[in-house]
Structure 1
Amino acid sequence: MHELIFYYMTRVAPTWEVARFFILHGVAVVAEVVVKKVVPDKMRLHPVVSGALALGFVAVTAVWLFLPQLVRNGVDEKNIEEYSKFMDLIKGLLPF
């Protein structure tokens, strides 16, 4: 489904990077659940540390697999242009 959405946005054949991103995250969630069941509470990381590690994992994999397809096909520039035009419209509608 995600590849279909990216195809709709870019009109470029799927590279399956986005699918790999979501599959990798699904595998990571399964691994996290297994580790939480196996490792005793005393040996678990502090939530601040585990949260930072999770955010780091998401950031690294997003830069590696998710964002390149958008940047490569100019979707980021198109979105910036559309938001700029939308803001110009809103400014024109405001009474002050």
Structure 2
Amino acid sequence: MQLNDKWQGLCWPMMDFLRCVTAALIYFVISITAVAKYSDGSYKAAGVFGFFATIVFAVDFYLIFNQVAKFLKQGDSTGADETTAHRAEGRWLP
């Protein structure tokens, strides 16, 4: 949809970071609820898959956090040119 070109005022790496954090929290809470509240086997399986999804989102959260931290440490002088080049390639951060 090329939303990054339409809405250039948003910090897209930070938006991705917040998406990972909220997804990990939501999956974790739902998994805890599914395992603790219901005793059916299907709910237990759903809880286990939810915990797996939480771990995957947490790893993504960690990787994005490291990339955002590196990006912010670079400064605005070199980071702006590289960010524009990486946006054209489809990647968000160097």
**TM bucket, shorter chain:** 0.3 to 0.5
Higher relative contact order (CA 8 A, sep 6+): 1
TM-score, normalised by the number of residues in structure 1 = 0.38
Larger of the two Rg values belongs to structure: 1
TM-score, normalised by the number of residues in structure 2 = 0.39
